[in-house]
A and B are shown apart, each in its own frame.
Chain A
Amino acid sequence: MNLSRRSVLKGMAAGALAAGGPMMTSRSAFAARDKELNILCWEGYNSAQVLDPFRAAKSATVKAESLTNDPTMINRLRAGEISTWDLINVNNPWARKVMWPEKLIKALPRATFEPYFDKMLPMFKPPYKWAMDDTGTDLLGSCQRFGPYSFVVNTDKVSRKTAEDTGWDLFNDPALAGKYGILESDDWNVFGIFVIAGIDPFKVHSDAELATFSETAKKVFKGAKMIGDIATMNQALVSGEIDLHLTGGTYSVSPARADGYPQLRGITPLKGPMPGGKGGISWIEVTSLVNNPTPSPLALEFLEYVQDPAVAHTVAFAEGTYNPVAQMGNPDCYKLFTKEELEAIQWDSLEEEMARSIEYDIVPDYDKALDIMNAAKRVRG
């Protein structure tokens, strides 16, 4: 074949047209968006196991981006991505306290979704607080994954009873310095440090309380063997490098338990400084409809799709982390879980641990506390 510069240029032009063609088509079809769905979520909902059957059934292009902290996701919407995303999956307080007042999300049809809540575990019976607006009128999202999230121990080194009885004071024990790790979930670590300091995290704090928080943060970070991600924490627990870590729970330790290390266990303390003397903190995901000016009709269909017992089971054991789901209140869903899977998500103690926990909330002076905590991290070296 005789290649000249002109023929190469012609080929490039044809290639550009071929590449640009579909883009132009999709842009012109953007207004309709009936075959397109964009989801901003925690990991799991972006897995092929969850999305592929939906893509195939709807012949749709479904894109999902996973992030691992709520504030980033909310700010993505605030920064203008409201016209990009159709669904947002974050922890419980954000829909009701932030996204709904700021008109970042819109309400779900109650008649369609409340029957699903009826079939969920008892704590989700409608009207479920975190899925509703302040007035109890509008349904702001659908629920699925949840779990207790305080700290994790290797029960071969610290017994479950000792851990539950001693609670967060374990991290005040000088004997355990160098034997614990800290999971790099900075928002959750703010909660954890407050509780270790004996202070309820979910209120406005006085200067004296923030000073105590600062001292506790310095001490806790100084005594940590390492700070790292979930894989690092589980690896370090399995190898014996550490005996326990904060912050953690079913969400973080379930992959290790599923891999054959049942001695690693999420612990919910029996007592603590939060209202009612509670010592644990839990999270519940609420998935909401983004107030997208050109919404996709597939958003509501996807929310219904994940309520299906088989899909809910897939969501519970999607790649990454394994978690209980609200749909386990439906016997058709519950029976899909094997004994090993129930063991991995600590089903045996789930109800009592949730009862001992305060539900995750927004810390009013989070920014101040986070700055103090970051400063404490810097001086640990």
Chain B
Amino acid sequence: MRATPSWWGAEAIALRLPAAGTRAALPVALLLTAGFVAPLVAIIAYSFATPRSFDVFSSFTLENYAGIFDTSNTVWLSFLWSGLFAIATVALLAVFAYPIAYGMDRLFGRWSSLVSILFVFPLFVSENVRLYGWVLFFIKNGVLDGSLKAVGFDGGPDILFTPGMILAGMVYTYLPFMLFPMTLGLAMVPKDLIDAARDLGASRLQIWREVELPLAMPGILIGMLLTFVLGIGAVAEAKILGGQSVIVIAHDIEIAFTYSQNWPLGSALAVVITLFIGVLTLAVFGKLDLDRLLGRR
């Protein structure tokens, strides 16, 4: 057996190298990091390339950003619509999902698993297929209109291909993304605290406002953030249910990458929206104690 030099001891190795688990995870970690970083780098680099060119990494211009913020450019309308739809979706979902989440946590008992499955099940069907299903339901002489006419009414409301229908589609599509974090948030509220508040004479409204809501807020905020981020990037609802009655920002990005073949402009739009969402996310997470929410302490 070869003698080990005194300076090459096990202690020295332990000091110089990370733990075996970390070393073993390194290749996958590098791969995942590259997979995450590479597309972002490409998009950011493209956003500084000459408009309508493929001169990525070989040209640098701020023209794409200048174009977006040019007052004569109407792309701000797309940002505005996406923002409004996302805010309205979050507000409506907060109102709709709270009673369901409350029921799943406190009232449904052994049925809550079944209710969860019912809300998850539509996610197994492609979003586009579900949205086309709604088109068939609401279209003239479709399921609703045709059925109402068959039983003697004038027919269904003419709501398809309107901004209101886009909002309805977004609320429908993103309900599970609000519901489950909210349910988790409510489940984190210790029942003892509610009992204690009640014993001390708090009314139901006081318990809800001063105990339940603040303690469930991390879950509610995560749900809101998740649905806001999904909502601001939503495009299928505006295209299929809305019949492009308004153009949302994700659709503008899609047009830039396809018919316009202006990848630098599409990239710049994507960077602006990513930055906006990134700043918002950091701001929200700055106010959240994730460790507490995930039950680590």
Contacts and interface: CB of A to CB of B under 8 A. Distances in A.
Contacts of A226: 160-161, 243-245
A225 interface: yes
Nearest to A376: B74
Nearest to A377: B247
Contacts, number: 79
Given A235-B135, A381-B81, A367 B52 contact: yes
A227 B259 CA distance: 15
B244 A377 contact: yes
Interface of A: 69, 71-72, 75, 78-79, 181, 184, 186-187, 225-228, 231-232, 235-236, 239-241, 367, 370-371, 374-375, 377-381
A75 B240 CA distance: 27
Contacts of A367: 52, 260, 262
B244 A78 contact: no
27 contacts: A71-B259, A72-B261, A75-B54, A78-B54, A79-B54, A181-B243, A186-B259, A226-B243, A226-B245, A227-B243, A228-B239, A231-B132, A232-B240, A239-B141, A240-B140, A241-B140, A241-B160, A367-B52, A371-B260, A374-B260, A375-B73, A377-B244, A378-B247, A379-B74, A380-B245, A381-B77, A381-B81
Interface residues of B, number: 32
Interface in B201-247: 239-240, 243-247
Contacts of A375: 73-74
Contacts of B81: 381
A12 to B, nearest CB: 12
A239 B243 contact: no
B246 A381 contact: yes
A378 B261 contact: no
Interface SS of chain B: loop
B78 interface: yes
Interface in B119-144: 132, 135-136, 139-142
A71 B52 CA distance: 12
Q: In this complex, which of B73, B78, B160, B260 has the most chain A Cβ atoms within 10 angstroms of its Cβ?
A: B260
B258 interface: yes
A94 to B, nearest CB: 13
Contact of B260 (A235, A370, A377): A370
A232 B138 CA distance: 13
A7 to B, nearest CB: 16
B255 interface: yes
B88 interface: no
B261 A75 contact: yes
A236 B139 CA distance: 8
B42 to A, nearest CB: 12
B75 interface: yes
Interface in B232-283: 239-240, 243-247, 252, 255, 258-262
Nearest first, the 6 closest Cβ-Cβ pairs linking A and B are: A226-B243, A381-B246, A227-B244, A186-B259, A226-B161, A241-B140
A69 B260 CA distance: 11
Interface in B136-185: 136, 139-142, 160-161, 163
Contacts of B136: 235
A186 B255 contact: yes
B136 to A, nearest CB: 8
Contacts of B245: 226, 380-381
A186 B261 CA distance: 12
Contacts of A381: 77, 81, 163, 245-247
Contacts of A379: 74, 77
A99 B260 CA distance: 18
Contact of A374 (B132, B142, B246, B255): B255
Given A186-B255, A375-B74, A232 B261 contact: no
A69 B243 contact: no
A69 to B, nearest CB: 6
Contacts of A235: 135-136, 139
Contacts of B139: 235-236, 239, 241
